[in-house]
Structure 1
Amino acid sequence: MTKTEHGARRGRRAAAGMLSLLAVGMAVPTIAHANVVPTLGRGKPAIGISRAIADNDRPEQDRSADAARKPAALLTFAGIRPGMAVADVMPGRGYFTRLFSNVVGPKGHVYAIVPAWLAQKKPTAADAVNAIAQEAAFANVSVSVEPLETLSVPRPLDVVWTSQNYHDIYYGQSADAALAFDKAAFAALRPGGSLVIVDHVALPGGVTADIAKLHRIDPAIIRQQAEAAGFVFQTDSTVLANPSDPHTVPVFDPSIRGKTDQVVLKFVKPAR
């Protein structure tokens, strides 16, 4: 074989090698991209609160409620961050469930917890959040129907959240049931974790039966119960306050529905 032929062969080998490297190099971004894009049921990547609110996977019904429910302020207040484990207790149609899912991302998890007594009273109580959990975009959501005095979750929680529901536990069940829920939340949280309660405000000193019909609760009762369970009150927010609410009509009354005076409280499980 002549030198010219040897040179030509080396050239062909080099060219083939270069093509192979180029092929590998072109394949790498595709593989990396597959690891980033949430296929295979992993759900979406964690995103910031503002992007979570703007996410296209949220239904129009949720978006139309944003102006009144102020999710950006509430999620910031609660300290929801990527990787967190959050319990959404009595999640209703999943308004906050979706938002929590978007923010905590695939390294976090959202436990939508429906009380057993509510499911017995309303067999469809878990249907909405079960539907959310079956969507690929919300693969980090799981649903359980269980007594609120247990909160059986597989990992320590960072936040236990309930919105517009504590009065249903306290008045719809009993003060003891509400305290049992607080104690279960305390046990399920990691040291330093938070219990966040949002609810419609009732005037203090009212007759229990009357207040129960209003679907409201005195914030002092919430604080007393949480502290009795071992929590330390950390702070509150006035983001949902409405001083023009008369506090004497049911929260479903057309004159005040969606505009009630609401308390937002954060309690912390002591680190020690």
Structure 2
Amino acid sequence: MNITRKSLLVSLAAGAGLFHGRLAPAQPTDPAPISPERIAQIVASPDRSAADRTNDLRRKPAEMLAFIGIRPGMTALDLSAAGGYTTELLARAIGPSGMVYGQSRPPNAGSQFTRPVSPEGNSHPNMAPAAAPPGGPRPSPVALAERDARLRAAGVAAAPIVAVSRPFEDPVPPELAEGRFDLVTLMFNYHDLGHLGTDRAMMNRAVFRALKPGGIYVIADHAGRPGTGISEAGTLHRIEEDFLRNEVEAAGFRLVATGDFLRNPNDPRDRNTPDPPQPKDEFVLKFGKH
């Protein structure tokens, strides 16, 4: 049989591939998103606070967690965490094999996002940051630390919550700034970055860098009317959906899903609080890093 050197090398390579295929361990895969049943259990957890349960009525956490596609073991960053309503939900859903960071702007940055929050976890827009008396309003990092402590004391299998005090333009600690996160959320406060003068392009680029390939950036906000952009951020606390989408996509993101579970087409979107009283029209956008 006439075997050429080339054919022998090809045969050896093929054999090595088969041998490697039999012995090499399988590549790890991401766990599946948590089930609707598990989400329902998290939302119904009896150790959640009464204030959070009240917020559930308008925030629809079960739909939000399902839309995000939350997975066990994620590393997540909750931008503008305030009292930690979303931060705690993420920690409960991700579980002890993951990590959740809650970001707020430093007090010396002069931002309403550093304002104290009530003992129930609600923010107070008219309060200046200040040292809080025991049991009174307290800054966001304190509120997050209290949530983490309560989760530990209750024996909840939740991800640790770590408070991060950094400006929005540079929201991630340097050691985590390059491809370390699976998920970043920003709930109902992107619009405020307009009247605060935040460099949103810089922030979105920082988020893009901090996410792993395939990571997601989920933003929810109050819908503004077409053509208003971010001009009504300080008055009606709204932002035009297409305007926000264009800003985020300019950082390299791609829109992968929209959530309609907080939409209200009957809201005229011309006031901060709709009149007659009704749910505010709100959108939820999921962006991916590819």
Q: TM-score range by the shorter chain?
A: 0.7 to 0.9
Q: Which amino acid aligns with 1:50?
A: A
Output the CA distance in 2 between the equivalents of 1:150 and 1:129.
20
Contact 2:74 2:182 in 1 (8 A): yes
Output the CA distance in 1 between the equivalents of 2:282 and 2:58.
11
Pairing 1:34-73 to 2, within 5 Å after superposition: 48-73=38-63
Q: Which residue of 1 aligns with 2:162?
A: 142
Gaps of 5+ in 2: 1-36, 116-127, 131-137
Which of 122, 129, 139 in structure 1 is aligned with 2:129? 122
TM-score scaled by structure 2?
A: 0.70
1:183 equivalent to 2:205? Answer yes
1:152 equivalent to 2:172? Answer yes
Contact 1:91 1:112 in 2 (8 A): yes
Q: Which residue of 1 aligns with 2:186?
A: 162
Gaps of 5+ in 1: 1-46
Which of 118, 135, 146 in structure 2 is aligned with 1:131? 146
Output the CA distance in 1 between the equivalents of 2:248 and 2:74.
22
Q: What's the offset of the Cα at 1:170?
A: 2.5
Q: Which residue of 2 aligns with 1:104?
A: 94
Q: Supply the RMSD in Å over aligned alpha carbons.
A: 2.2
Output the CA distance in 1 between the equivalents of 2:74 and 2:159.
15
Output the CA distance in 1 between the equivalents of 2:47 and 2:53.
10
For residues 63 and 189 of structure 1, do their structure 2 counterparts lie closer, same or farther at Cα, with a shift above 3 Å needed? same
Deviations, residues 139-182 of structure 1 (Å, cap 9, x unaligned): 610101101222324551111001110001123224xx111111
Q: What's the offset of the Cα at 1:86?
A: 1.0
Q: Which residue of 1 aligns with 2:24?
A: none
Q: Which amino acid aligns with 2:214?
A: G
Q: What's the offset of the Cα at 1:131?
A: 1.5
1:76 equivalent to 2:100? Answer no
Give the 4+ runs in structure 1 shifted more than 4 A.
207-211, 253-257
Q: Secondary structure at the match of 1:48?
A: helix
For residues 102 and 248 of structure 1, do their structure 2 counterparts lie closer, same or farther at Cα, with a shift above 3 Å needed? same
For residues 132 and 255 of structure 1, do their structure 2 counterparts lie closer, same or farther at Cα, with a shift above 3 Å needed? farther
Q: Which residue of 2 aligns with 1:249?
A: 271
Share of identical aligned residues, percent? Answer: 33
Highest Rg: 1 or 2? 1
Moved more, 193-202 or 107-116: 107-116
Q: Secondary structure at the match of 1:264?
A: strand
Output the CA distance in 1 between the equivalents of 2:99 and 2:230.
37
Q: Which residue of 1 aligns with 2:224?
A: 202
Q: Secondary structure at the match of 2:234?
A: helix
For residues 226 and 256 of structure 1, do their structure 2 counterparts lie closer, same or farther at Cα, with a shift above 3 Å needed? farther
Contact 1:159 1:189 in 2 (8 A): yes
Contact 1:133 1:143 in 2 (8 A): no
Q: Secondary structure at the match of 1:67?
A: helix
Contact 2:223 2:239 in 1 (8 A): yes
Q: Which residue of 2 aligns with 1:219?
A: 241
Q: Secondary structure at the match of 1:107?
A: coil
Q: Secondary structure at the match of 2:191?
A: helix
Q: Which amino acid aligns with 2:169?
A: E
Q: Which amino acid aligns with 2:161?
A: V
Richer in helix (by share): 1
Output the CA distance in 1 between the equivalents of 2:184 and 2:44.
24
Q: What's the offset of the Cα at 1:55?
A: 1.4
